[in-house]
Amino acid sequence: MRANDLLEIEERISNLLSQEEKKRGERTEMLKRIQVSIEKRRTLCSELEKEKQKRIDNLNKQKEALKKAKIIAQNKENEEIKEKKEQIRKEYIQAIENVNQLELVLSKDMPATVKKIVLMGKEAKKSGFKTLSVAITEHLSEEIRKFIVQSKKVSSNLRVDKLIDLVKGLNRSIALCEDGADKIERRREMYLDGLFADVVEGFTNHFFSQFETNRLDKPEWYLDYLKGIIAEHEKIFSVLSQIDELETEEEGMEESVIKEKYFHGLIDRIYGDIIYKKLNECIYSSSKQQEKLIMHHAEELSLFERELFSLYKYKRIEKIPKKEADFIENLFICGIENELHSIMKKDYTQWSDMFMYLLKTTFKKAAALYSIIPDAHVVLLEAAIKKYLDGLTVFLNSFLYQKTEEQVILMHFIEEISHLEEELIDIETEFGILVGEVTILNAPYLGEFKNSMLDILERVLEEKVERAMGPFTDYRFMEKHEEVEALSNLEEVIESELALIETQTLSDWMRSSIATIIDRYISENVLLDSIDEEADVNRAKSNFTLIIEILKKNGIQDKLVHSKRKCQELSANLHKIA
């Protein structure tokens, strides 16, 4: 073995020892890092365990607090229930005492007292003290109304038989005050006056004041309140109607009908003195949303009326006073006119679509107002259409109709008016379905406008056709080529006029008008009484045949009856002369 080999082996061993030493150092370092990491994790686990225990302790505290809170709440609820029961018991006992006291007063003390007061009033009247007599009567009526209200208030906690006894006792006192044949009707009015006065007092505190419940945009609040108040009279009205039924002499008068009379009387008063006053607040408000407020109020009243009819067979005949109705109509008409002014400032090609949109908007407004103004749809739609037609009339009468474009505009609006007539029929049907009643929209002004515009169109058409027919006045002296040229010119005029029309209705009208104009022109200007030759008459007949062919070619089935008759008359006269 050579020395070089030994050196190489030694170097290799040295390298291996160095690598092994390096690996040992790396392992030691890694083990230290692992040891540090384990220590950190042990510390973290310890902290987590502490946090866990802390949360468990907090949770246990919360559970304990919740348990205590439930016990406290239960105890408080039990105390409240106990207090409420005690309060109800006291109220019931007090109600019984009030009823017993009221019954005692009505059955024993009150009739005698009323009798004395009535006698005092009569004596005062006999002695000439009319003012004193009136004051006594009014005082007596007021006191009786108080008993009426008190009877109604205790009715909810009282058996029906007890309530009947109370009412009978009160009726005996009322009978002492009332003279005349129809005592039952007068007694009913006194009950309704007293009960309604109580309704007004309660309502005023909520809805005729500065409270948050008094809002113009929430009529449903006070209407719901009134529905509840009306329903509270069910028991007292049932008892009153039973007593009236026993006393009345009218045959066939059932208790249910009598009870409806009470409800109807109360609701009539509510409408007259409460609902219409609330509506007036809305009508005469200074709000920028006045129209919307009125419509919403009217819609809610419509729902209110339907419920009243369903529950009490109540249907109000009288609507709001004329003054308020006129104010509302003028308010909405003013809005319509403002919209029309803005429409008329646009290009005429946009008028029809914009007006139809306005008309449908007006229709919706009228439907909303139906419950307070049944003919609102007639008034508002008529105002809108008439104002629009006035604007169209001014616009269309401003043309001389020397240009085809002007005639096209005229025919466009004539066609649009026909379309409007059809739309009104649809609106009439939709309105009837919406309000549940048959409605008829009479719009004679549409026909008058269309006839007026058709007269203008007829004059324009007459001028063009007569200009084309002009050469035929000298038909006896016309050359063949002149005759052909005149017929060709007439055909061109007819075709160009018919080409301007888009709708079948106006096309039929124009065909009929063209035939009438030609027939009249020939009979008046071509076939003159001065014709004295049979050949001239025959030549005229030949021209008629050619003109009739032109008319047929353009879909005009007309025989020129007047012209033919004139020819026959001329021929007959010539034969007589011969």
Residues 420 and 272 in one domain: no
Q: What is the pLDDT of residue 204?
A: 85
Residues 305 and 358 in one domain: no
Q: What is the pLDDT of residue 210?
A: 67
Whether 66 is in a domain gets the answer no
Residues 269 and 157 in one domain: yes
Residues 396 and 425 in one domain: yes
Q: What is the pLDDT of residue 102?
A: 46
What confidence tens digit (pLDDT) does each residue in 335-367 have? Answer: 999 999 999 999 999 999 999 999 989 988 988
Residues 252 and 210 in one domain: yes
The pTM of the full predicted model, rounded to 2 decimals, is: 0.68
Say yes or no to pLDDT of 249 above 70: no
Q: What is the pLDDT of residue 211?
A: 65
Identify the band that residue 107 occupies on the pLDDT scale cut at 50, 70 and 90.
very low
**Between residues 545 and 118, the one the model is more confident about:** 545
Yes or no: say if 386 and 444 are a contact pair by the CB < 8 Å rule. Answer: no
Residues 368 and 249 in one domain: no
Say yes or no to pLDDT of 19 above 50: yes
Whether 49 is in a domain gets the answer no
For the record, the structure tokens of 282 come out as: 């809305």
Whether 337 is in a domain gets the answer yes
Q: What is the pLDDT of residue 455?
A: 92
Say yes or no to pLDDT of 535 above 60: yes
Residue 117: phi and psi, rounded to 5, are: -65, -40
What confidence tens digit (pLDDT) does each residue in 121-166 have? Answer: 555 455 555 565 455 556 556 677 777 777 787 777 777 777 777 7
Domain boundary among 290, 322, 354: 322
User: Among candidates 367, 365, 385, which has minimal Cα distance to 437?
Assistant: 367
Residues 126 and 221 in one domain: yes
Contacts of 425 (CB under 8 A, 6+ apart): none
User: % helix / strand / coil in the chain, to the nearest 5?
Assistant: 85, 0, 15
User: Among candidates 354, 324, 323, 328, which has minimal Cα distance to 339?
Assistant: 354
Give the range among 23-27, 264-268, 383-387, 509-513 with minimum mean pLDDT.
Answer: 23-27
Residues 437 and 333 in one domain: yes
Q: What is the pLDDT of residue 181?
A: 40
For the record, the structure tokens of 417 come out as: 């008016």
Task: Please state, in angstroms and rounded to a whole number, the distance separating the CA atoms of residues 123 and 178.
Answer: 16
For the record, the structure tokens of 373 come out as: 């103004």
Whether 570 is in a domain gets the answer yes
Average pLDDT of the chain is: 81
Say yes or no to pLDDT of 408 above 70: yes
Whether 138 is in a domain gets the answer yes
The mean pLDDT of 475-484, rounded to a whole number, is 82
What confidence tens digit (pLDDT) does each residue in 167-214 have? Answer: 777 777 676 665 544 578 888 888 898 889 889 988 888 887 666 767
Domain boundary among 291, 322, 353: 322
Task: Please state, in angstroms and rounded to a whole number, the distance separating the CA atoms of residues 506 and 453.
Answer: 12
The mean pLDDT of 264-269, rounded to a whole number, is 93
Residues 420 and 502 in one domain: no
Task: Please state, in angstroms and rounded to a whole number, the distance separating the CA atoms of residues 238 and 277.
Answer: 29
Residues 270 and 162 in one domain: yes
Residue 532: phi and psi, rounded to 5, are: -125, 15
Residues 189 and 287 in one domain: yes
The mean pLDDT of 531-551, rounded to a whole number, is 82
For the record, the structure tokens of 536 come out as: 């001239």
Q: What is the pLDDT of residue 121?
A: 53
Identify the band that residue 378 occupies on the pLDDT scale cut at 50, 70 and 90.
confident
Which residue range forms the structural domain that includes residue 181? 117-322
Whether 229 is in a domain gets the answer yes
- Give the number of domains in the chain: 3
Identify the band that residue 394 occupies on the pLDDT scale cut at 50, 70 and 90.
very high
Give the range among 88-97, 233-242, 302-311, 465-474 with minimum mean pLDDT.
Answer: 88-97
Q: What is the pLDDT of residue 131?
A: 62
Residues 152 and 296 in one domain: yes
Question: What DSSP line would sit under 406-466, residue for residue?
Answer: HHHHHHHHHHHHHHHHHHHHHHHHHHHHHHTS------HHHHHHHHHHHHHHHHHHHHHHH
The mean pLDDT of 407-423, rounded to a whole number, is 89
Task: Please state, in angstroms and rounded to a whole number, the distance separating the CA atoms of residues 227 and 307.
Answer: 9
Q: What is the pLDDT of residue 202?
A: 86
Domain boundary among 256, 287, 322: 322
Whether 218 is in a domain gets the answer yes
The mean pLDDT of 382-393, rounded to a whole number, is 92
Q: What is the pLDDT of residue 179?
A: 55
Task: Please state, in angstroms and rounded to a whole number, the distance separating the CA atoms of residues 313 and 260.
Answer: 7
Question: What DSSP line would sit under 261-317, residue for residue?
Answer: HHHHHHHHHHIIIIIHHHHHHHHT---TTHHHHHHHHHHHHHHHHHHHHHHH-----
Task: Please state, in angstroms and rounded to a whole number, the distance separating the CA atoms of residues 210 and 400.
Answer: 64
The dihedral built from the CA positions of residue 542, 547, 550 and 555, taken in this order, carries a sign that is negative
The mean pLDDT of 99-119, rounded to a whole number, is 51
Whether 38 is in a domain gets the answer no
